[in-house]
Amino acid sequence: MQEVQEQSNQSKEGDAEATQLSEKGRNDDDDEITVEPAFKHGELPQDNKLPPKVDSAVEVLHEKVTKQIIKEGHGQKPARLSTCFLHYRAWTENMLHKFEDTWQEQQPLELILGKEKTEMTGLGIGVSSMRAGERALLHVGWELGYGKEGNFSFPNVPPMADLLYEVELIGFDQFKEGKARSDMTVEERIEAADRRRIEGNGHFKEERLEEAMQQYEMAIAYMGDDFMFQLFGKYRDMALAVKNPCHLNMAACLLKLEHYEEAIGQCSIVLTEDENNVKALFRRGKARAALGRTDDAREDFQKAKKLAPEDKAVAKELRLLAEQDRQVYEKQKEIYKGIFGPRPEPKPKSRIHWIVVIWNWLVSLVYRIFKFRRPKAD
């Protein structure tokens, strides 16, 4: 809090610059509200209990560290003192006990190469060999992990345990002094996040969706929960003007990749801060509709329509849901018709049937006349 209070006492010139950044963050989010699924892309990492099975070649990085690539990355490798953001899962190699998972916690790790904790020395060696977007399996000897004693608090790692890491390098920034987020001012963190957002928008427009998502996730990492909790007033508005568009653009990428549950999660984060955000309602509605949750989707679209009654994309989605409901109703009618069958039609009475009736009546009449006259003859 002391850092925020110091920033609030800066000069008017600094305030004007900060306000300009806030407006810039609002105006640069120029992607379209309508998002159509384009193609199936690489799968996002799943919450697996066991390490992935990898068939790629083993690369020796150190006497105690080897690497196998799961997914290729792009661009340069981070240099020493680079501030890296990464997701990882960690297991003890012998018992396959998973003791850490940043994907599950939804909090990427910030790691400054050359300044990492002792128990993460092997992880740092592996990350320094990776490119942005690369995912790899690292084998780390206990000497470069939690050592001879292990760790008996959190995380719980037994003594002399060799480690397995499934790591994805989201991206990195290079500062001469190896600057951590906690050492940055409010404006520096927001500016770093905004640069990532703009770069992500460039990738998005060129359909490089994974690269775009990496930039958005980097931006969101700068706007972590601990940071947002400290902000108030115009500084919080400035941060949200960068953070919320990143979540919305992440949702747009996830819709294209057909990862609908993750898209719903990104939109819901925005709606927690801004319950009337039309883009968040629209994109969450799209994801819910794709999962067959039509009632929830209709609720999102109807709320979006109230907030933006002239929006044609929202109206179109409501029409599609109505048409879908009509098709389901017609299909159900056909199914029920097939079960119970058509109503039987009454058969016309046959002409022969009447002839038989009349003939029987005549025979009966003759028999009675004959029976009546017989006693008189006797």
Q: Report domain extents, the chain.
A: 59-174, 185-324
pLDDT in tens, 149-174: 999 888 999 999 999 999 999 988 87
Q: What angle do CA 115, 161, 153 make, to 5 degrees?
A: 70
Query: Would you say residue 42 has pLDDT above 50?
Result: no
Residue by residue, DSSP assigns 14-62 as HHHHHHHHHHHHHHT----S--------PPPPP--SSPPP--SPPEEEE
User: pLDDT above 90 covers what percent of the chain?
Assistant: 54
Distances, alpha carbon 47 to alpha carbons 51, 98, 106, 173, 191, in Å: 10, 11, 11, 27, 32
pLDDT in tens, 86-127: 999 999 999 999 999 998 877 889 999 998 999 999 999 999
- What are 112-121's contacts with CB under 8 Å, separation 24+? 112/81, 112/82, 112/83, 112/84, 112/178, 112/180, 113/78, 113/79, 113/80, 113/81, 113/82, 113/84, 113/178, 114/80, 114/81, 114/178, 115/81, 115/178, 118/147, 119/145, 119/146, 119/147, 119/151, 121/145
25-29, 114-118, 354-358: least confident range: 25-29
Residue 28 or residue 317, greater confidence: 317
pLDDT for residue 371: 66
- What fold is seen in the domain 59-174? Chitinase A; domain 3 (3.10.50)
Which candidate, 228, 160, 170, places its Cα nearest to that of 196? 170
Mean pLDDT score, 240-262: 95
pLDDT for residue 377: 45
Is residue 328 very low, low, confident or very high in pLDDT (cuts 50, 70, 90)? Answer: confident
Neighbouring residues of 334: CB distance < 8 A, sequence distance ≥ 6: none
- As to burial, measured by CB atoms within 10 angstroms (0-12 exposed, 13-18 middle, 19+ buried), residue 312 is exposed
- Model confidence pTM above 0.85: no
pLDDT for residue 15: 38
Residue 282 or residue 11, greater confidence: 282
pLDDT for residue 304: 95
Query: Would you say residue 46 has pLDDT above 70?
Result: no
Selection from 40-49, 123-132, 181-190 with the highest mean pLDDT: 123-132
- As to burial, measured by CB atoms within 10 angstroms (0-12 exposed, 13-18 middle, 19+ buried), residue 131 is middle
Is the separation of the CB atoms in 171 and 105 below 8 Å? no
**Mean pLDDT of all residues belonging to the chain:** 82
Query: Would you say residue 378 has pLDDT above 60?
Result: no
pLDDT in tens, 173-194: 876 556 778 788 899 889 989 9
CATH C-level class of 185-324: mainly alpha
Cα–Cα distance between 198 and 192 in angstroms, integer? 10
Query: Would you say residue 262 has pLDDT above 50?
Result: yes
Mean pLDDT score, 269-285: 95
pLDDT in tens, 288-297: 999 999 999 9
Is residue 27 very low, low, confident or very high in pLDDT (cuts 50, 70, 90)? Answer: very low
Cα–Cα distance between 329 and 337 in angstroms, integer? 12
Mean pLDDT score, 223-236: 86
